[in-house]
Amino acid sequence: MSSCAVMAWALTLVDEFEKAGEPVPENAVPMLPLVDVVLWVKQQEAPVSPLDLATRYNVSRATAFRWAAALKAHAGHAPACRTNGLSLRATLGMRQQHRDAALAVRKASVQA
96-105 tens-digit pLDDT: 555 566 666 6
* DSSP symbols for 19-46: HTT-PPPTTTGGGSTTHHHHHHHHH-SS
Q: Would you say the pTM of this structure is higher than 0.95?
A: no
Instruction: Confirm if 66 and 81 have CB atoms less than 8 A apart.
Output: yes
45-104 tens-digit pLDDT: 888 899 999 999 999 999 999 999 888 888 765 554 544 444 444 444 444 555 566 666
pLDDT, position 55: 95
pLDDT, position 89: 46
Rounded CA separation 13/17 (Å): 6
- Own/partner contacts of 71-75, CB < 8 Å, gap of 24 or more, are 71/7, 71/11, 71/38, 71/41, 73/8, 74/8, 74/11
